[in-house]
Every structure is written in C-alpha cells, then in structure tokens.
C-alpha cells in the first residue's frame, strides 16, 4: 500500500508498511511471484501426468527445505525477528501481501486520510480466481472489498476490525482486466466506522459494498500481535 500523505500509524504494521522489506522478504516476494505463475499454469497445463508428477516431486523437495526453517522456530530467533514480523505484517496479507502467494495482490493508495478518508485499489484477477466463465468469483471480490474498506477505515485514524460487510453485485466482473476499487469513510460514531466502496471495470460498475468496522483499543491490537507471534 502507498500513501500520498503521512498517515499516523496507531497500530504498528496494521494496514501500513512501516519500513522497507528485508532482504529475506524481498527473496520471498520473488518466490511468491513464481508460485503465482505456477498456480496459473497448474490449472491450464496439458503436460503429461509423468511431467506433472516430476514437478510435484521437485516441489516437495523444495517445500521440505522451507519447512525445516519454518515459523521462525529455528534456534537463535529472538526479539529482532519478532519485530521484523510485526513491521512487515502488511506484506503477509492474503489480499495485499507481496510475499503471500495466495494474494493477487491488490495495490491500494490512500488518497485522503482523516474523517473523510478515501482510498483506491487496483487489481487484475487472473484465471485462478474464476467463478462464472470469464468472470471473477464473487468471494474474491468480497475479500478485496474487505481489504479496501479496511484500509479506508484505518486511514480515518481509528482502525478496527470488520463487524459487517455487504456486497451488491451489479455486473459480471471480468477476469484479466484492470479493475479499480474505491473506498471511503462515510461517518464515524464513537468506535463505529461506516464505509462504502465501489468496483469498476472502466465505466462499468461491477459491485458496491458497505462496511461497518469497530475500532480497536491499542492494547487489544498489541495482544493480537503477541498471540500471533506466540503461535508461530
């Protein structure tokens, strides 16, 4: 995610990339890109069963290498490694995360922060995200709205968690086309943050969404981070 202003970062890495990616995370970005490419090919390849199984075996060997050093449990991992995880929380997002292979990923820009926060998201869903023929699966559209509106409510200065998300699908959303999400805060009432958003392909309105978020107290977010790191 990028920002056109200096949005206050009240909750560490929550919806804000607080520093540059480490060399390890840059390597993860490169690996994630290749995994995304592999997923696209897996669902359309006409390679022989023998070729597919040979690739499977190669992947299994590679996964074993990664698993041997998984979850940060290797000896010598300490507070610095845990801090790195928290700082790069955004990069691990299943929707935005450049190091997360299941993310498309979605790229979001904060256009305005504060009570009238407005954001824009750009995305191009490829073939693994197909629902109806040639169209994006509605579940992925909903998850993208959750992230777009989530960034908008974070930019309001009182970030919280989703309490309710509603999506109205207006027109089929095409695969492999540049799409634009827009999200904004409509109003803030105490801890409740009300948001709205749209999804367009060119001039065509594909979907609309409303979201209600409830802001978190800083101590709750800190506790969630601690629980996450304790379970790695």
Task: Transcribe 27-68 into DSSP letters.
Answer: HHHHHHHHHHHHHHHHTT----HHHHHHHHHHHHHHHHHHHT
Task: Identify the band that residue 50 occupies on the pLDDT scale cut at 50, 70 and 90.
Answer: very high
Task: Identify the band that residue 9 occupies on the pLDDT scale cut at 50, 70 and 90.
Answer: very low
Which has the minimum average pLDDT: 62-71, 108-117, 165-174, 214-223?
214-223
pLDDT of residue 219: 72
More confident residue, 164 or 69: 164
Residue 76 has pLDDT above 50, yes or no: no
User: Residue 88 is part of a domain; what is its CATH number?
Assistant: 3.10.129.10
Q: Look at the chain and report how many structural domains it folds into.
A: 1
Full domain range(s) for residue 108: 2-230
Give me the chain's average pLDDT, please. Answer: 85
Q: How far apart are CA 10 and CA 152, in angstroms?
A: 14
Peptide bond into 105 cis (omega under 30): yes
Both tokens of 34, joined, read 């290749």
pLDDT of residue 200: 98
Both tokens of 79, joined, read 């507070």
Both tokens of 212, joined, read 């209600």
Cβ-contact 171, 199 below 8 angstroms: no
Residue keyed to tokens 């309710």: 164
């Amino acid at each position: 995610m990028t920002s056109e202003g200096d949005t206050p970062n009240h909750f560490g890495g929550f919806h804000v990339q607080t520093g540059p990616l480490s060399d390890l995370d840059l390597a993860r970005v490169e690996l994630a890109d290749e995994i995304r490419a592999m997923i696209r090919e897996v669902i359309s390849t006409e390679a022989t069963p023998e070729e597919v199984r040979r690739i499977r075996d190669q992947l299994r060997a590679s996964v074993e290498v990664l698993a041997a050093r998984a979850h940060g449990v290797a000896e010598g991992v300490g507070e610095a490694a845990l801090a790195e995880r928290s700082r790069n929380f955004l990069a691990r997002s299943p929707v935005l995360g450049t190091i997360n292979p299941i993310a498309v990923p979605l790229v979001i820009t904060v256009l305005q922060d504060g009570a009238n926060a407005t954001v824009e998201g750009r995305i191009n869903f490829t073939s693994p995200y197909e629902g109806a023929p040639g169209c994006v699966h509605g579940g992925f559209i909903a998850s993208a709205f959750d992230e777009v509106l989530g960034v908008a409510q974070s930019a309001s200065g009182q970030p919280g968690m989703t309490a309710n998300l509603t999506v109205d699908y207006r027109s089929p959303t095409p695969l492999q086309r540049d799409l634009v999400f827009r999200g904004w805060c409509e109003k803030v009432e105490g801890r409740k943050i009300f948001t709205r958003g749209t999804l367009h392909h060119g001039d065509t309105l594909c979907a609309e969404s409303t979201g209600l978020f409830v802001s978190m107290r800083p101590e709750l977010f800190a506790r969630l981070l601690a629980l996450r790191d304790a379970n790695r």
